Amino acid sequence: MARPRTGRQTSAEYQRRYRERKKAQGAMAQTNWMLDVRLTDAIRHEAKARGLRESEFATDILGDWYEARFGGRLPPAQPEAPPDTSAPPPQPASINATVELLLAKLEELGFIIPLQGMATQCLHGDERNGLWATVTLNGLDTIEFGLVERTDGFAQNILHCVVDTVTRRAWLTSDAYGELNQGRDIGTKISTKGLQALDDAFARLREFIMAKRKPLRYDETLAALPHYLDQEPSRSLLVLAFQRMGLELVHVPPTDLVISAAEAPQNVALHDLNALAQYVRQEFLRMGKTVCTFPLWDGGELIAYAPEARAFVYAGLRMQPPDSPNAEEGQP
């Protein structure tokens, strides 16, 4: 028999309505974020076309809307009241572990964190064709961040996330990764490893940003390579990049211990290695070379060569080629 309604909500009903309300708030926040991005793009483009500042053009639009809505001119902004120096200054709000770890993750990805409001940055490209990152702080209770790719002026939502740092819930939407369209419970316990419930989202952001980033210059790649050549799969991927260009590669490790510089190395990706190998291939064709040596800052060397010069290179190094029948197993 159905329970008679008494006007009181059971615990299950309250939780269900709370989740529905939060889901609706997350959807509304995502919609408002996309509208803000598109409106900002439109104002920036039109202001640039008219030779006006964005703030001036936005004020004109607001004035025209106010006049059409209320039949009068927009009243001037009221000056702010002078601060009351007699009152004690407000104490800063405490930052919980969720906020601290989330901001650290975004900074690691290269997102600009605003002190308040919204910060938008172009990771590469331009206003019409490029990759744009946005972070919005609604106090310390709600943090929004997203990645949008613009192609011929059309915006595609790569990932947008709204995190409620009080209830520790997150709502994700994505046009590129359908499996990320869901709400998640971050959890009441935040481990030292970070926000594990959002690890896949941050991994997708990192992969997408690295894949869309312009390749490093060859000198930047060479400067960062010593940090990668002492481990796998970096060595194998470097050899693979040169093999794709029809070249072979041997790494001569440094003979003396060299302390690395304090400056952090560039984050090298596979397409950076492909660009380096393509540059070397072009130099071979332009100069008519079959062997090219690149000294590294740690004292080591990279020797790129055409397959027909393999015997000459290994003879100069006093080493046996890897495919030699007399080569010992594990010989580089």
Give Cα separations from 10 to 2, 16, 18, 20, 261 (angstroms): 14, 10, 12, 15, 63
Number of neighbouring beta carbons within 10 Å of residue 54? 14
**Percent of the chain scoring above 90 in pLDDT:** 4
Q: Is the pLDDT of residue 326 over 70?
A: no
Same domain, 157 and 136: yes
Domain count, the chain: 2
Q: Which of residues 162, 195, 212 is at a domain's end?
A: 212
Q: What is the pTM of this model?
A: 0.48
Does pLDDT of 2 surpass 70?
Answer: no
Same domain assignment for residues 206 and 226 = no
pLDDT (mean) for 65-93: 66
- Given the DSSP bridges, would you call strands 248-252 and 301-305 parallel, antiparallel or unpaired? antiparallel
Residues 223 and 200 in one domain: no
Note whether 241 and 198 are same-domain residues: no
Secondary element (H or E) of residue 48? helix 11-50
DSSP 87: S
Residues 114 and 204 in one domain: yes
Helix, strand, coil % in the chain, rounded to nearest 5: 40, 20, 40
285 and 234 both lie in a single domain: yes
Strand order in the sheet with 142-151: 117-125, 130-138, 142-151, 154-164, 169-173, 182-185
Those residues with Cβ within 8 angstroms of residue 106's Cβ, 6 or more apart along the chain or in another chain: 113, 135, 145
Q: Which amino acid is at 273?
A: L
Find the domain containing 31 and state its range: 16-74+95-212
pLDDT, tens digit, for every residue of 93-123? 556 777 888 888 888 888 888 877 888 888 8
